[in-house]
Structure 1
Amino acid sequence: HAGLMQLGRADEQDPAEWDAMIDVNIKGVLNGIYAVARQMKARKGGTIINISSVAGIKSFPNHVAYCGTKFAVHGLSETLREELADDSVRVITIAPGAVETELLSHTTSSEIIDGYEQWKDGMGGVITAEDIARCIAFVYQQPQNMCIRELVVTATRQTA
């Protein structure tokens, strides 16, 4: 599914940006689940992989709304996993750290963008979308009777 990251302070960010992130990051996941869960449950098997973020595990300055959406992905994924486990449907959450994508381009504050870019440069770069694709393939290719519930993946030098 798609993701949207618009960074900003809670007291300064346009609430329309919150709505956009909720629509994409939470409702997008829920719509994806709705599209496939019933069929997987009926056939007694399947795998749902939701992409969250390290920002769904810990907080970061200027990430209030984004963290909220990614914490939601973690919570709904764990609840869904419990609901579908008896039907042999695996629900897996992948929580990437900083990834080199276009996500930051949605942020409107040049000060926040500059700080984020400096943070990425300070750790020698970040992981790539291809790295995440390999993670997705890895968790998916495990036997159906085994569920890697969560995979957190970051650049080696990313400490947060």
Structure 2
Amino acid sequence: MIKPLVVITGANSGVGLACAKLYTSLGHPALLLDLNVDNVSALNLNNAVCEHVDVTDPDSFSSAIAKAERQYGPVDCLINNAGIMFLGDIGSQPSKDWHTMFAVNVDGVINGVQACLESMRQQGRGTIINMGSLGAIKPLEHHGIYNATKAAVHSLSEMLRQEVSQSNIRVCVLAPGAINTNLINKTKNPDIIAGHKNYVSSIGGALSANDIATLLLTIYQMPQHICIRELVVGATQQVV
């Protein structure tokens, strides 16, 4: 029996790609969204619809979801995973960088919510999992504006949870520490990149994309009457 539809953003690499593999392996049809879907498309995952979507474009987001729902039924889980990170100091970081981070990390989350919410309300259930960050809770050097985008995700998720809980819709936030993905490669300052890599080495290594995918699945697989509102996780040796 085919399971309910899952929507995953940022599905072409890192955590999103790990989620795509995991959920489809368990029989879930999946709508896999990213600016580039060549990696995930090449896998030919079962019951996967791969769509080139910019999460900052609400019309494109909604259109892709409507298409998948016509094929597989209503969305049961939305994983707002797409994100971008430029590290730097608040006082000197280029405005283009922080505008882009807010557009993807915050606007993209809101667009996903608005694209799925009415369908979830109609079916009387659903799960929205937003990717937050440990940095939203604890200051991390050179992460100032990135942390601010993730703090916004935590805040809007809590308000959304209060708005939709009576519709039997769960809103959850996963707040991970350092993850071994290619996000750091967006930063252009080689000293900051080197410092980040040294820090990751000093804590015995970052969490893997598969680690995070497994945690996201655990949140989703809890009985519908249980909502893990916020789950903070990090490598055991990560002090901050």
CA distances 1:80-120 after superposition (whole Å, capped 9, x unpaired) = 00000011100010011000000000111111111111100
Unmatched 5+ stretches in structure 2: 1-80
User: 1:31 & 1:76 partners in 2: Cα distance?
Assistant: 12
The structure with the greater share of residues assigned to helix is 1
| Corresponding residue for residue 113 of structure 1 | 193
Bigger Cα displacement from structure 2, 50-59 vs 75-84: 50-59
Quote the offset at 1:59 in angstroms.
1.4
Q: Name the amino acid aligned to 1:148.
A: I
Report the AA paired with residue 48 of structure 1. I
Partner of 1:46: 126
Matched, 1:153 2:233: yes
Tell me which residue corresponds to 2:82: 2
| Shift, 1:58, TM fit | 1.6
Pairwise CA distance, 1:42: 2.0
Give me the whole-angstrom Cα distance separating, in 2, the residues matched to 1:38 and 1:19. Answer: 28
CA distance in 1, matches of 2:114, 2:136: 21
Partner of 2:222: 142
Among 75, 85, 101, the alignment partner of 1:21 is 101
Distance 1:20 1:105 in 2: 15
Match of 1:18, as an amino acid? W
- Paired residue secondary structure (1:151): strand
2:158 equivalent in structure 1: 78
CA distance in 2 between counterparts of 1:18 and 1:153 reads: 25
Scaled by the length of structure 2, what TM-score is found? Answer: 0.66
The alignment-based identity, stated in percent, is: 43
Whole-angstrom CA distance in 1 between matches of 2:176 and 2:90: 23
State the SS of the aligned residue for 1:100: coil
CA–CA distance in 2 between the matches of 1:115 and 1:71? 23
Shift of 1:56: 1.3
Show CA shifts across 1:53-72 (max 9, x none).
10111211211110110000
Tell me the amino acid that sits aligned with residue 60 of structure 1: L
Residues 32-71 of structure 1 correspond to what in structure 2 (within 5 A)? 32-71=112-151
CA RMSD of aligned residues (A): 0.8
Structure 1 residue matching 2:226: 3-state secondary structure: coil
- Structure 1 spans left out of the alignment, 5+ residues: none
Are positions 1:132 and 2:240 aligned together? no
What is the total number of aligned residue pairs between the two structures?
160
Over 3 Å off, 4+ runs? none
Q: Which has the larger radius of gyration?
A: 2
User: Which of 1 and 2 has higher RCO (CA within 8 Å, sep 6+)?
Assistant: 1
